[in-house]
Structure 1
Amino acid sequence: MKNILLLSCFLTGFGALAQEHFSGISTSRRGGLLNAGMNPAELSNLQTKYEVSVLSASFNLSSNRLGFNDLVGGSNLEDKLFEGNKDVDLRFDGEIYGPGFAIKVEKWAFSFQTKTYAKVNFADVDPTIGDAVTNSAVNALFGSSTIQNNNNQRANGTAWGEVGLGISRILYEDDEHKFSAGVNLKLLFPGSYANLGADKFRGTINNDLGQVTLTNATANLNIAYSGELAQDFTEFNNYTSSLFGGLNGFATDFGVNYQWKDLMDTDNNSYKLNVGLAVRNIGSMTFKSSNNRATNYILNVPEGEFLDLNQFQDVSSLEEVEQLLLESGYLNSLPVSRDFKVKLPAVFSAYADVKVIPNLYVTVFGQRKLREDDANDQVTTQNVISVTPRYSTKKFEVYSPLASNEISGFTAGLGVGVGGFFIGSGSILTALGNGEQADIYLGFRLGLQ
């Protein structure tokens, strides 16, 4: 399929594109809407009466097979990605905070926030299948390979918008301790969706000097698409033009927060310890479009018969993939037009920010997904754990997030915040050593008394 489907497109569109968004800055002691995005109870820790979110953006790209130089260079990606025997995971994740506002009123705090998301994921893809479909099996110019893979191999793209209404309350506060709880109610605006899943794939791929065929094969296929991504899921514009669809979904975040105040510090917002727990993205959205399709098929290519895999090399549309498979006669049913629900990537997160000495803090953060990525109606995410040392004053901070996630492994980054402006990367330091992740984020917010 076309240039590993989207990879080169996104790299061209964003330049240098980790999985924990706003790594380091989202646990800053400054507080605000970014912190509330991670835990709605953090609204109670606003340092000013009002906060205005102007614009913040985070773009993450991680892989278990490609180094940083490969990710940003963009040459021979298909060849390198499908070398070896390890299943391929490749994740792009973009998150943009639009206009937002928060206000603190005595023990209460309220927020309004807009966001947009774009995600592209390749999960558990067998490298032999990927090489055969995208490259005419250039990594094996002749011979055959028998594959038996029990994972649900997925190629998936999703774009949607969100409007969040947050509320938090201080439950208990004295001179030394503060407990808060919060909830964020999210209205979801699904834009476009595309999913190709191949579960329990078994078959033999033959390669005769570039003529690649599949025989003696079975698989459970899911082909689903809606909106702009139905026509072409390799074009960057199809994601950006469909970030906000119609209102058709609902989700919630819940969180609690505890602060142990630092009575020796003259800064009223200083603490010795800030701890939080949150469950986010509990909900789903329904995709509705005139071109909606969501069909489960059984692929069956009998022994002695052959499916030509070369015909899929330049395909960029799931409609075309589906049509070619139907014309081959190896699918068992016709496509079904219907609405379908897609679950958000629900996660549990926990963190603790500890004051070591004046102006020096260390944050420990962990995120665990509550659903696995193999379901066809599931937007994917990653498990993450990070440690972030931070030098922080009232108007300035510099920090270095050190993290490990399940796709790209260990990463080390660097970020800085000056007033309301911040810029950083969760992987810039390991990228210098050709790490398997590339990301960047930046933004600006205003605190008003």
Structure 2
Amino acid sequence: MPKMPFTEVLAAVFFSLLLAPAAAEIKTLKISSDARPMILFEKFGFTHTGHVAVTVSGVSVVSSLANPEPSRLGFFLLSEDALLQVLVELQRQNPNFCVLDSSYIKHLFTFRELSPPPHSSFNQSYPVSAPGEYSLFFANCAAESKVTMDVHTEVYNLDDGGVKDYLSAGRTQLPSIFFLFSLCYLAFLSLWIYICLTNKRSVHRIHILMAGLLLMKALNLICAAEDMHYVKVTGTPHGWDVLFYFFQFIRVVLLFTVIVLIGTGWSFLKPFLQEKEKKVLMIVIPLQVLANVASVVIGETGPFIKDWVTWNQVFLLVDIICCCAIIFPIVWSIRSLRETSKTDGKAARNLAKLNLFRQFYMVVIGYLYFTRIVVFALRTIAAYKYQWVSNAAEEIASLAFYMIMFYMFRPVETNEYFALDEEEEEAAEMALRDEEFEL
């Protein structure tokens, strides 16, 4: 029997490490003429009252060789603790080894239990008494065979009252967390509207966009809370996922747009955008559209599709490009302020603006670093029961970033950055000359 392609198996097992538990825990999937040796369906954190139910129908196995052995095709659960041992077994590349023969997996069933072949169905529920995080796989160890089948899966835990909880053990707290943060943003929006109304003369168009950003963030979190709530109690989002992705798209595009516009000094330093700044917006917005499409594909289809890894790579690449692109306008503004501060006779005012944009640059870098790297690290290393911690950390960091950014560029009639006396002006001129000497 030809051995299973180790690189394909390794990719499937590796991405099960990175995969966050799925959002909808009742799924109906269609597998068509699939020859992959392993297919990852989903990942779930079970308590001691966990259950997994798998229904397959319309099963058809086509092979260019002799009739495949039914016991070489089947479903199994793989715990996080057993991943390393299974990878070691696979790396040995024994030509006759099949992952279904491993003693480290939890067997569910093989096609031998289907009756009657070749077109058959099977329905069975299995308890998971050992708590932990498990990945649901389908393995095809039959050489040169393609599988077609309809798969229906349900994974859940039972709470103290015996009611099904379709959210993973580490995510069952998310509806409450998202709803709490949505209230924070609604309160934040109310405060921002009050500040704008009491300082009407200092309100710019950017402040209206910032208010829209807060509204979209609040609506996004409300939809996320409802989405998770319905998944928790019914196993499906009941359409709330559509609203979630809609408001997430608007919110992300608005966030990157606001950062770029503030970074260019639009409405603060100048009422227009230069050509290179317009190009940044023309790059960032289409890329954000692509990133959100990739996010929807990743979130809704799941890892069982053949191009799931590709869509993950697309999402990561686009996100990195956008994060880099929004930094350039801030750097351009800092450079422009440094040059004009030496020529227009208003050293103190320009030094204040220069310091402001330097601080904004550091805040943006810190926000991007935390949400892209630290949050990912938390999600990777946190125990399965505490997966909610990474979501909470991301929302706390986002709220802190919004508060700092909005405070720095708030509308105020007497801006302390520009209310400077003659002594401060002279000190600023000296500071700028020292800076020029250092450069």
Indicate the TM-score class for this superposition, using the shorter chain for normalisation. Answer: under 0.3
Q: Larger C-alpha radius of gyration, 1 or 2? A: 2
What TM-score do the two structures reach when normalised by structure 2? 0.23
Q: TM-score, normalised by structure 1?
A: 0.23
- Structure with a larger share of its residues in strand: 1
Structure having the larger proportion of residues in helix: 2
